[in-house]
C-alpha cells in the first residue's frame, strides 16, 4: 500500500520511519532518543503508537464515552494542557497523516504491515531480528546491543546495528537519510 494523499500530493506531510519489534525490546527507548536528537537538530517531530491490544483509550463512564455511545463519530476533549481527538474508527496511517501536516518527521511504533516504510528493528536476540527482517529494514537496535554474542550474530544480516544509548546521532543520521514521505521509497 502506498501512503499517498488525495491527488497524489505529499507536500507538507512529514517524513516517516517505523520502529518495530517484540514486547520489551527497546522500541520506546529508541523512539525517545530519536525524537530528542531530531528535536536538537531543530526538526519538528511527532509519534504514532499502534496499540492493537487495547480497544480504546477513552475512559469508561466519562462524558466522552457517553458521546461515543450516543453515536458521535468524532469527539474532541480539551483539558488544560492538550487536545485529544477521539475518532470512532481505526484510521490507517494514510488517514492519520493530514493531522500531522507541517511536522518534519513522524516516528511510528509498530505498524509492521506498512511495507513501504523504512524500519528499525528493536530486538533482544538475533533470532528476533530474523523474524522481522525484510527489505524495508534499515537498522537494528534495542536490547540486543547489550549482548556482544547476539549483536555479532545480528551483523550477519548485513543491516547496521546501533546501540541507541551511545549512537543516537548515527541512527538519527540514517533516519534523516532514509525516512520517506507518504510511504514512497
The residue with greater pLDDT, 98 or 161, is 161
Give residue for cell 521509497.
185
Quick: pLDDT tens for 126-173: 999 999 999 999 999 999 999 999 999 999 999 999 999 999 999 999
48, 84, 147, 168 from 171: Cα distances, Å: 19, 31, 19, 5
Alpha helices in 27-147 (DSSP H): 27-40, 63-70, 93-96, 126-132
Among positive and negative, which fits the CA dihedral 79, 110, 113, 162? positive
Give the model's pLDDT for residue 126. 97
Please provide the average confidence, as pLDDT, over all residues in the chain.
89
Across 49-58, 151-160, 174-183, which has the greatest mean pLDDT? 151-160
Sketch the domain layout of the chain as residue ranges. 12-54+91-181
The residue with greater pLDDT, 40 or 82, is 40
Q: How confident is the model at residue 6 (pLDDT cuts 50, 70, 90)?
A: very low
105 touches 175 (CB < 8 A): yes
Task: Give a three-class secondary structure readout of 12-47.
Answer: CCCEEEEEEECCCCCHHHHHHHHHHHHHHCCCCEEE
The CATH architecture assigned to 12-54+91-181 reads 3-Layer(aba) Sandwich (3.40)
19, 60, 133 from 84: Cα distances, Å: 24, 15, 35
Q: How confident is the model at residue 61 (pLDDT cuts 50, 70, 90)?
A: confident
Amino acid at each position: 500500500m502506498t501512503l499517498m494523499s488525495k491527488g497524489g500530493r505529499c507536500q507538507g506531510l512529514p517524513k516517516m520511519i517505523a520502529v518495530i519489534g517484540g514486547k520489551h525490546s527497546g522500541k520506546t527507548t529508541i523512539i525517545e532518543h530519536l525524537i530528542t536528537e531530531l528535536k536538537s537538530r531543530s526538526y519538528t517531530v511527532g509519534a504514532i503508537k499502534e496499540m492493537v491490544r487495547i480497544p480504546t483509550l477513552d475512559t469508561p463512564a466519562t462524558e466522552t464515552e457517553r458521546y461515543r455511545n450516543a453515536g458521535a463519530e468524532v469527539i474532541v476533549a480539551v483539558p488544560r494542557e492538550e487536545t485529544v481527538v477521539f475518532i470512532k474508527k481505526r484510521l490507517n496511517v494514510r488517514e492519520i497523516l493530514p493531522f500531522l501536516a507541517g511536522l518534519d518527521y513522524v516516528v511510528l511504533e509498530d505498524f509492521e504491515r506498512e511495507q513501504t516504510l523504512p524500519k528499525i528493528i528493536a530486538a533482544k536476540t538475533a533470532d528476533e531480528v530474523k523474524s522481522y527482517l525484510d527489505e524495508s529494514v534499515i537498522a537494528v537496535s534495542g536490547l540486543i546491543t547489550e549482548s556482544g554474542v547476539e549483536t555479532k550474530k545480528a551483523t550477519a544480516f548485513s543491516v547496521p546495528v546501533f546501540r541507541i544509548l551511545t549512537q543516537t546521532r548515527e541512527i538519527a543520521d540514517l533516519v534523516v537519510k532514509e525516512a520517506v514521505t507518504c510511504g514512497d521509497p
